[in-house]
Amino acid sequence: MASSLIFFSLLILSPLLLHQPHFSSANVHRTSHLKSQLLPQISLFQVTPPTQFFEVTKPVDLPSTRPCSHLVLRHDFGYTYGKPPVFADYTPPSNCPSNDFGKIVLEWKATCIGRQFDRIFGVWLGGVELLRSCTAEPTASGIVWSVEKDITRYYSLLMTNQTLAVFLGNVVDSTYTGVYHVNLTIHFYPVEKKSDDVHGSKFENLVSGHHTWADLILPISRNLPLNDGLWFDIKNSMETQLKEFKIPQNTYRAVLEVYVSFHENDEFWYSNLPNDYIAENGLSDTPGNGPFREIVVSLDGMVVGAIWPFTVIYTGGINPLLWRPISGIGSFNLPSYEIEITPFLGEILDGKIHTIGFNVTNALNVWFVDANLHLWLDKHSSKTEGELLKHISLPLVLSQVSDFEGLDGTFLTTASRNVLSIGKVKSSFGTILTHSIQNIYYSNSIVMQNDGNTQIVNQTIHFNDTVLVKMPLADVYSIKSEKKFPLFLYSGYLDQGNGDYVLSTDFTLGFEEKKSSKVVGFELSKSHLNNLQNGEGKMIVENGLIVHATGSTQQVYNYEDGNVCYFRNVSSLNYKIVYDEVRKKCSKLEQMPLDFGSSDSVFFKSKSFSSI
């Protein structure tokens, strides 16, 4: 992202670059480079009091109990680029009347004033990543922003003494003056009543193992010493990063939670052009390898799943004016992705060391990837036994069709991947049979027009996961997640002559997710999130100076799970909120349909288990 040394070096070049924008095609990378050069001028536009920047999201559902709050870190991140993370000793809270917590929330709160790039940062506890985020870009009069994340799923880790690590690489000099002043607090909310405790009979433990926190979380991250974050750096498609681990022999469920972010030449990977187009047009400084990327996850060399990431746009991306004060979807709290590896327990319950590997298809420098391995332990047994019954990981199906002449052309990329894994675990609960299914589909269309000065990107990712579990004394338990990531992006450069030009951007970005869980024919939960953002920006540059700049963003966020409904419709124009409607209760007419259609037919029915 713009925090990289490559991007930073562009900013300290001669101001003559503003008069002669040498780009052969107005792809998103190059317009971002130019807008980064204009960042000092953009920063000076804001003269109002400090602004509250925010990402639109549903507030964390909290118990009515009063929290015990624990300030775990206070630090000013200034000259931290290329330096080790900041470390602090963490101990569980000792000032709470109860040690039984119903909700645990991490709060990142920061202020900054001056000029600065967007910076990626991470928070780890005992090597386990709790938060991946991007800083807001400050203004001359200052900003403040906060991130509240539900981290209850890390309960077992938070109850032990650990080392906290925070990495935020920042550069401060005479031009880029912003220092990030950070407070990191964890709020512990006691349960409202004893009946909220999920621990009970063996069967209750078994069911709860599929919707509450793990007993143990192992970090699949880099080891010390290091001079940047605890994530792995993946610089090209030939590089595979490996981490050794060993699990307790009484594990009965395992889920891998993966964190991903993309930077430098792959910050806008979805707009990258094919290598033959770049070569034939002599575009040596244009990122290539086409627009398709996936993170392939392996266990002892065997592919166990893949991640096709959501297209997070960081706060300095494409046009910084778009993200003030409304930040891009996922930019303040990047999503993590889960892969159910319970079917593979039979391969790793031997008490020996095994490896998890990460590879990024078509990667360019650089991707940051790490993971957390969540493990559920059989407290009534010292050893479980597992067996992998079936594993089908079909090769990636990738199609790329190009039709171009000179700098203009069209490029269509489609892809699909399917992974099926079936395994069983013998435990004190009885034999547990688990199906894990991934079906992923991708489509990307890029159009280059006006001698490559206009780029139009249309992309959609369908990311579907299903876990089916045959449990003792119960019918099939299922967990289903269906995600859709639509993206439209228009980026245009218009040469006005004499070094004057106009930069125009339009975008639509969406994150839609349907989730459900069922057991014994009874629906435990069902939710639907529809989060859609669109905006447009324009800059007019004359004689190397911005003479006109606008940025407007509009977002509609709609969430419902049967018990909670949260709706927000908000719009901004040039740093100011011009419309904001929030509703926490929805009428029947406003509720979104939660019908998952006939998608069940794609997956295994309960009768499938009888044939195993």
Look at residue 361 and tell me whether its pLDDT is greater than 80: yes
CA distance 236 to 240: 9
Confidence band, pLDDT 50/70/90 cuts, at residue 11: very low
Cβ(425)–Cβ(342) below 8 Å: yes
Mean pLDDT for the stretch of residues 137-147: 92
CA distance 101 to 192: 9
Cβ(54)–Cβ(326) below 8 Å: yes
CA 422 from centroid of its chain's CA atoms: 27
The pLDDT value recorded for residue 17 is 27
Look at residue 409 and tell me whether its pLDDT is greater than 60: yes
| 29 three-state secondary structure | helix
Higher local confidence (pLDDT), 606 or 268 = 268
CA distance 465 to 340: 9
The pLDDT value recorded for residue 31 is 67
The pLDDT value recorded for residue 471 is 81
The pLDDT value recorded for residue 598 is 35
The pLDDT value recorded for residue 200 is 46
Beta bridge partners of 541: 501, 546
Range of the domain at 410: 5-611
CA distances 28 to 76, 239, 287, 492, 511, Å, are 32, 26, 10, 9, 21
CA distance 129 to 559: 26
Token pair for residue 586? 């929805």
Beta strands in 266-407 (DSSP E): 294-299, 302-307, 336-340, 354-361, 367-377, 385-393, 397-405
Token pair for residue 334? 């990047």
Pick from 409, 396, 420: nearest CA to 293: 396
To the nearest 10°, the Cα dihedral for 295, 452, 444, 316? Answer: 50
Cβ(229)–Cβ(127) below 8 Å: no
Mean pLDDT for the stretch of residues 312-330: 94
The pLDDT value recorded for residue 610 is 34
Mean pLDDT of the chain: 87
The pLDDT value recorded for residue 13 is 27
Could you read off the pLDDT of 191-238 as tens digits, one per residue? Answer: 987 544 444 455 555 555 655 899 999 999 998 778 889 999 999 999
CA distance 88 to 549: 43
Could you read off the pLDDT of 367-392 as tens digits, one per residue? Answer: 999 999 999 999 999 999 999 999 99
Longest pairwise C-alpha distance within the chain = 78
The tally of domains found in the chain comes to: 1
Cβ(271)–Cβ(27) below 8 Å: yes
Sheet hosting strand 128-134, strand order edge to edge: 86-90, 162-168, 120-125, 128-134
The pLDDT value recorded for residue 4 is 32
CA distance 45 to 370: 38
Token pair for residue 293? 């990327």
Q: Which of 152-156, 293-297, 542-546 has the lowest mean pLDDT?
A: 542-546
The pLDDT value recorded for residue 518 is 85
Could you read off the pLDDT of 243-275 as tens digits, one per residue? Answer: 999 999 999 999 999 999 999 999 999 999 999
The pLDDT value recorded for residue 611 is 34
Beta strands in 8-84 (DSSP E): 51-53, 68-77
Look at residue 293 and tell me whether its pLDDT is greater than 50: yes
Q: What are phi and psi of 202, to 5 degrees?
A: -60, -45
Could you read off the pLDDT of 430-480 as tens digits, one per residue? Answer: 999 999 999 999 999 999 999 999 999 999 999 999 999 998 766 788 999
The pLDDT value recorded for residue 586 is 64
Pick from 219, 230, 231, 185: nearest CA to 86: 230
DSSP-assigned states of every residue in 76-124: EESS-TTSPPEEEEE---SS-S-S-EEEEEEEEEEEE-S-----EEEEE
Could you read off the pLDDT of 333-350 as tens digits, one per residue? Answer: 999 999 999 999 999 999
Q: Tokens 């971002």: give the residue.
A: 32
Mean pLDDT for the stretch of residues 167-190: 95
CA distance 462 to 486: 9
Q: What are phi and psi of 451, to 5 degrees?
A: 55, 40
For the chain, state the CA radius of gyration: 25
| 358 three-state secondary structure | strand
CA distance 226 to 165: 12
Token pair for residue 408? 């203009």
Residues whose CB falls within 8 Å of the CB of residue 405, separated by 6 or more in sequence, listed in order: none
Mean pLDDT for the stretch of residues 166-186: 95
Mean pLDDT for the stretch of residues 281-293: 95
Could you read off the pLDDT of 26-77 as tens digits, one per residue? Answer: 567 766 666 555 666 665 555 467 889 999 999 999 999 999 999 999 999 9
Token pair for residue 319? 């046009």
CA distance 568 to 584: 9
CA distance 398 to 408: 23
Q: Tell how strand 143-150 and strand 51-53 pair up.
A: parallel
